[in-house]
Chains A and B, each alone.
Chain A
Amino acid sequence: MFTAAKSSITRIALFGAVVLVSACSTPSQPDGINDPFEQTNRQTHEFNRGVDRIVLRPTSNAYGTVVPERARNGIANFANTLNQPADVVNSLLQGRVENAGHSTFRFLVNAVFGLGGVLDPATDMGLEDRDTDFGETLYVWGVPEGVYGELPIVGPVTERHAAGKVVDLFTNPLSTVLEGPQAAAQTAANVASGFGTRYRLSDTIDSILYDSADSYAQARVIYLQNRRFKLGVDSSGTDLDPFEDPYDSLSPQ
């Protein structure tokens, strides 16, 4: 049954990838920042800032204040556990069999010994979260990064990451099994977990969005550095080379 579900998931994923990847047309070597639609993106950024200020920030603060930390951690763990099957599928699609086994065991340990995923005994056993997504799968398959952009509500993305996010909506085998109230519980856990993250990182996110001289440029440079680090992209020689030596720019060699 699992195999049947998996093969249908794989088919959907492959189809989505083929359709969406054709949109990514820029060269595969990331060269610093590739943002040809900056003007439009800046307008979207202003919209997103408004949504954060009016909805996300106050809701997250209320969530963090009303719901005790233990309960918030439990909800975040639950959402994470439910997401493990999607990590397994992506690890398999990436040919990372060891990671697929790792995430499978993490799922089983937390589901069975972690009260259905509310606790996280797996991390203490050395089965830490190895989060992945279909955007990473596309990277492993050699799909170029594409241009940078900021999407309404979603926030900063590259074309490849955006294509991956669309496919991510369909790659969790659990989502095909869960129905009605269970599916609603999964969605609710994901949304609440998102508010929890916004609350936990509140100072940092506020500082980027509301205190910086150009919050669009800050969000862009931070997102690109973090995303390329996560994927293991080699950025040496680009504008975002993490090992740039500050002394070199002072005294030309």
Chain B
Amino acid sequence: MTHFPLSKLSRRIFLFGLGAGFLATPVFALSEASAKTLVERAVADINAVIASGKSEGAMIRDFERIFQRYGDVPTIAISALGPPARSASAAQRSAFAQAFSGYMARKYGKRFRDFAGGRIEVKDTRKRSRLIEVRSIAYLPGQSPFNVTFLVSDRSGSDKFVNLLIEGVNLFQTEKVEIGAMLDRRGGNVDALIQDLRRAG
């Protein structure tokens, strides 16, 4: 019903998408259609959890499962840790990824409650280099509709989310800044950071 203007941004994204599409087609396994399906399935799962009326703790455990099923959590985690990940041991990296997953579920699971009674409509998809951008609009009761964008990649071997943008605010970069601050507070000690992360969120 509501129509969205083709803004400067969307025109630019569109043209870039066209260009990237021509260049990338032969090697690009992930299709825009499969990325869209992935988002639609995740949205349906999230809506089901919100509608379940379970306790907050149970919902957060459900969100963590959804986060792990649809997102490439280890990649998001290690990439958010940045350069310190390179000198970390395999055990540290895996412990960090696990702590990060729980932290994200607790921190953002609480926020998903605000989506109760609302809906997310998938609008369109575009290729952005090797990522696929799935743009959607969230409609929540008593609020103006806002933009939610999912970024999907198949570089892990299967289609997974690697980022989420809400009105341009990008979860991955925002958490990279936060993880960096947590690590600074611990003088760069990754083990101490993992301990803090298990309690945070």
A contacts, CB < 8 Å to B: 69, 73, 98-99, 123-124, 126, 128-130, 200, 203-204, 207, 211-214, 217-218, 221-222, 225-226, 228-230, 232, 234, 240, 242-247, 249-250
Please determine whether B111 and A126 come into contact, CB atoms closer than 8 angstroms. no
User: Known: A207-B107, A222-B169. Contact between A243 and B162, CB under 8 A?
Assistant: no
Interface centre among A69, A123, A203, A242 (most CB of B within 10 A): A242
Q: Is the interface of A mostly helix, strand, loop or mixed?
A: helix
Q: Is B92 an interface residue (CB 8 A)?
A: no
Q: Which residues of B contact A200 (CB under 8 A)?
A: 142-143
User: Known: A225-B173, A230-B168. Contact between A98 and B5, CB under 8 A?
Assistant: yes
Which residues 104-144 in B have Cβ within 8 Å of A in the complex?
Answer: 107, 110-111, 114, 128-131, 133, 142-144
A211 to B9, CA, bound (A): 33
Please determine whether A128 and B2 come into contact, CB atoms closer than 8 angstroms. yes
Candidates A129, A211, A213, A225; contact of B170 at CB < 8 Å: A225
Q: Which residue of A lies closest to B142 (CB)?
A: A73
Q: Is the interface of B mostly helix, strand, loop or mixed?
A: mixed
Chain A to chain B contacts (Cβ below 8 Å), 18 pairs: A126-B1, A126-B2, A128-B145, A129-B144, A212-B181, A213-B185, A218-B174, A218-B178, A222-B174, A234-B9, A240-B173, A243-B128, A243-B129, A245-B131, A246-B75, A246-B163, A246-B172, A250-B78
User: For chain B, which range describes its interface: under 10, 10 to 19, 20 to 34, or 35 or more residues?
Assistant: 35 or more
A214 to B181, CA, bound (A): 6
Q: Is B76 an interface residue (CB 8 A)?
A: yes
Q: Which residues of B contact A99 (CB under 8 A)?
A: 5
Q: Is B101 an interface residue (CB 8 A)?
A: no
Candidates A212, A229, A247; contact of B75 at CB < 8 Å: A247
Q: Which residues of B contact A128 (CB under 8 A)?
A: 2, 144-145
Candidates B79, B130, B163, B165; contact of A250 at CB < 8 Å: B79
